[in-house]
Amino acid sequence: MILFRRFLPHLWSMAFRPFFLASAIHAVASILLWILILLFGFTSPFSVGGVQIHSYEMVFGFARATIIGFLFTAGQYWTKTVLIKEKQLFFMFLLWLVGRVGFLSFGYIGTVAIVLDMFCDLMVLYHLIPALFKEGQERNRIIAITYFIFFLLHVLTAISFLNVLPVFWSLHFVHLSIFLVLIFVIIIAGRILPFFTSVAVPNSNPNKVQALENTIQYLGFLFLFIESLLYWTPDIKPLAASFSILFGIANLVRWKMWEPWKSRSIPILWILHLSYFWLVLGFFAYGFSHLEIMQVSSALHIFTTGGIGVFIYGMITRVSLGHTGRPIRASKLIIVGYISINLAVLARVFFPLINLNREGYLLSAIFWILSFALFLMQYTNILIQPRVDFRSEPRN
């Protein structure tokens, strides 16, 4: 108990605090290390290939930390119950943290770290499933189901790295995990963006058609299923391409119904709408990549750096303010961060299309690191200090 009462006690009061802070630190450190390995000949400390570990860590390190932080923060408002805090939250965070050294060249110690990282997911499910499967939580059950699939893909990825399954399957599992993170974005964006827009933008009338919302949600899982088959049945590429493009059209219609252009004067809201545009563009680009019109790597990074990275950046800047009792308004430095992370997308996606691969990788990394460094400068104290409105954190 001394740990929670004396050393950063507020950090462990709600899940978004440690996990958002850690995801930002991870975003800086992992991309810095990746660029040193990729472009400057730095010897990799990992036991698996550079592309594999880079992809793995951005999904199961960076993105997963943000997902956990958000789900356990939003979940207590969905269920009117505090799902996790203090000692249990610290233990869950420690499992995630130990997992980050799992594929370093530590032999059996690394294997133990990987297993502990899987226990982090099991702990997430242990707390989420009972809460989200209670009566009255029918709408939220899809969240627990999605995380369970995410956990299965995490296991498959890890054991393929360990050669229990063929190691060349690992990137396929990582790509499927990326698509599952996109499903999280699709679900969460559909819940918050119309509401945020209606509250923050005068004279706005974002429209939600429930039939379209339900269709898009389940089409996301169909997209995942088709892509899972594609690796072993490449002859369905035309089907996969067509479906990805049509799914992009459906999401574009959804996005336009939210009237995103009306939020341009509110950067902390506009950034979330812009991230969803990257997601839409990603489905078009990924469909074209199946037709060999677009580079697969560039298409994937529209999804990852744009649709996921920009959305996460927008969410952690907003949620961290709202849940600590501060005005939901982006500072000038964070607006620079918004610009910087979108420049990271542009550099990573479009420079390689004109054969400026090295320049694109380097510039994208610089802009990405800058954006999250600015977040850490502005938000570290916010995340470790008490609410400024003197309200107590939610309790059971």
Across the strands, what pairs with 46? Answer: 104
The residue extents of the domains of the chain are 9-383
Closest-CA residue to 75 (of 13, 151, 16, 118): 16
User: Which fold is adopted by the domain 9-383?
Assistant: Cytochrome C Oxidase; Chain A (1.20.210)
Arithmetic mean of pLDDT, 29-43 = 95
Running DSSP on this structure, what letter comes out for residue 393? P
Which residues have CB under 8 Å from 19's CB, separation 6+? 65, 66, 68, 69, 93, 96
Evaluate whether 271 touches 312 at the Cβ level (below 8 Å): no
Running DSSP on this structure, what letter comes out for residue 46? B
Say if residue 337's pLDDT is above 70: yes
Evaluate whether 189 touches 311 at the Cβ level (below 8 Å): yes
Tell me how far CA of residue 240 lies from CA of 10, 172, 226, 288, 291, in angstroms: 47, 15, 6, 10, 9
- pTM, entire model: 0.95
Task: Give the per-residue pLDDT at 105.
Answer: 75
Say if residue 198's pLDDT is above 50: yes
User: Residue 7, class by beta-carbon neighbours within 10 Å (0-12 exposed, 13-18 middle, 19+ buried)?
Assistant: exposed
Which residues have CB under 8 Å from 191's CB, separation 6+? none
Evaluate whether 375 touches 24 at the Cβ level (below 8 Å): yes
Q: How confident is the model at residue 253 (pLDDT cuts 50, 70, 90)?
A: very high
Task: Give the per-residue pLDDT at 396.
Answer: 41
Arithmetic mean of pLDDT, 149-153 = 98
- Ramachandran region, residue 107 (left: φ > 0; alpha: ψ -120 to 50; beta: rest): left
Query: How many whole angstroms separate alpha carbon 300 and alpha carbon 348?
Result: 10
How many DSSP H helices and E strands does the chain contain?
15, 0
Query: How many whole angstroms separate alpha carbon 56 and alpha carbon 50?
Result: 10
Q: How confident is the model at residue 226 (pLDDT cuts 50, 70, 90)?
A: very high
Say if residue 132's pLDDT is above 70: yes
Task: Give the per-residue pLDDT at 49.
Answer: 87
Across the strands, what pairs with 104? Answer: 46
Task: Give the per-residue pLDDT at 390.
Answer: 61
Say if residue 151's pLDDT is above 90: yes
Q: At 359, which amino acid appears? A: E
Query: How many whole angstroms separate alpha carbon 198 and alpha carbon 263?
Result: 10
Per-residue pLDDT reduced to its tens digit, 361-395: 999 999 999 999 999 999 999 999 998 876 656 54
Query: How many whole angstroms separate alpha carbon 182 and alpha carbon 247?
Result: 12
93 compared with 104, residue with greater pLDDT: 93
Q: At 149, which amino acid appears? A: I
Task: Give the per-residue pLDDT at 341.
Answer: 98
Per-residue pLDDT reduced to its tens digit, 294-326: 999 999 999 999 999 999 999 999 999 999 999
Evaluate whether 372 touches 379 at the Cβ level (below 8 Å): no
